[in-house]
Structure 1
């Protein structure tokens, strides 16, 4: 049986540019999100209703889906539920982010339980949009790979930060070697990711920390897919490169 990593594509779908589907029936919000994503090096495609968003996600491979919670025909939750249940959909395993102008605490948990990785509150700024884009292309935003200020705040001084990052470097090099075997051991992999989250937090490895959490969620829900493993491996390699620079 083939390994889940065997056929994984470790680059964004469209060369080095992440493809993003932006579904929002508000013209102003849609324009801001698309222009902001384009300015950050992504390739954004806009649609104005849920039915169109679902059709595009079924027929085209997108790296990231930004889905408004309230759209004509179907909202974010309905679109993602239908997409996740369609094994033939090109974007079945794409990272999805729900966008909304208002959010009740119970609605937030429902969206996360349904498979959304983040909820983006509108109106948002470019900083929030950059954080969302880093879910699929962390290597284009070096500050999102290693956050020195976050690491210094946690560790207290540069000497401790550097020592912990050396340990993280060793941990990631070993994890990279064992990744294929771990991908077949859900329980062992989940435990390994749990420990990795702590190391990432101490070292300010924000992009890898995000992908670690997302992969943990998927392991618990339905098992890791090749797309999720590819995103995790991509963040791991980007973090190793940043640690070596």
Structure 2
């Protein structure tokens, strides 16, 4: 039986870049890969677009008039009512070193795109979206951590944090404000450890907690399942 294309709507990506050539390439490249794009040329316009529309992915240039990628994402994460407050985000930059990449991952970006880039890099960006991501991505973790030893050490720390969180999520009484703060820190760890799939579940739960904290039981149960899957992968 053939599946109707309407059952799988194309991902919607906000492309924010003040360089016209970069913006054109990124937009054309993402559309060639099946995405729908909305494009803008400065940080404040990007913030407004992301406030008004729910995007699957935010591709934000680090240096734009008005606000750069970091400032745009921080403003969105701080405002739970923004339609894209919990969306996955990727920073883009033509000037990037290892320390800058680590800072952006710690700020909540799932990955960093170095410009100029090609279609293969854009495919990697789209692969971050839920349903397309492996539980553990060794390549992404190595890019973030720098070497295998550091990657393994960070993953051991993450495993301990997730084991404790899994137990706590099963308890009947939870402090949602404290949980939101803990989830914020967990997203940074996910970036360093190559667990983008879990990072997507973190973002989804954060948004649910902010929208309706009194009816978050199903979302917490779903997230607890994602934590368990990640733990099993880390133990393999």
TM-score above 0.5, yes or no: yes
- Contact map agreement 1:25 1:49 (CA 8 A) in 2: yes
For residue 74 of structure 1, the aligned residue among 63, 67, 71 is 67
Distance in 2 (CA, whole Å) between partners of 1:25 and 1:70 is 8
Going from structure 1 to structure 2, the CA distance change for 1:63 and 1:233 (only over 3 Å counts) comes to farther
Partner of 2:125: 132
Is it true that 1:99 corresponds to 2:92 in the alignment?
yes
- TM-score (structure 2 length as normaliser): 0.58
Q: Deviations over 1:153-180 (max 9, x none)?
A: xxxxxxxxxxxxxxxxxxxxxxxxxxxx
**Is 1:59 equivalent to 2:52 in the alignment?**
yes
CA separation of 1:49 and 1:215: change in aligned 2, threshold 3 A: closer
Unaligned runs of 5+ in 1: 1-13, 151-180, 191-196, 198-205, 235-245
Q: Is the CA contact 1:183–1:224 (under 8 Å) kept in the aligned structure 2?
A: no
Alignment coverage as a number of residue pairs: 165
Instruction: Tell me the distance in 1 between the aligned counterparts of 2:167 and 2:55.
Output: 26
| Aligned residue among 98, 115, 119 for 1:122 | 115
Moved >2 Å (runs of 4+): 181-186, 222-234
TM-score, structure 1 length as denominator?
A: 0.56
Q: Is the CA contact 1:215–1:224 (under 8 Å) kept in the aligned structure 2?
A: no
CA drift of 1:87 comes to: 1.2
* Structure-to-structure mapping, 1:1-245, within 5 angstroms: 16-136=9-129, 138=131, 184-185=169-170, 210-212=196-198, 214=199, 218=202, 224-226=206-208
User: Which structure is richer in relative contact order (CA contacts within 8 A, separation 6 or more)?
Assistant: 1
User: 1:135: Cα distance to partner?
Assistant: 1.2
Unaligned runs of 5+ in 2: 1-6, 140-165, 171-178, 184-189, 210-218, 227-236
Cα pair 2:110 2:196 within 8 Å, conserved: no
CA distance in 1, matches of 2:225, 2:24: 32
Q: Distance in 1 between matches of 2:114 and 2:223?
A: 24
| SS of equivalent to 2:86 | coil
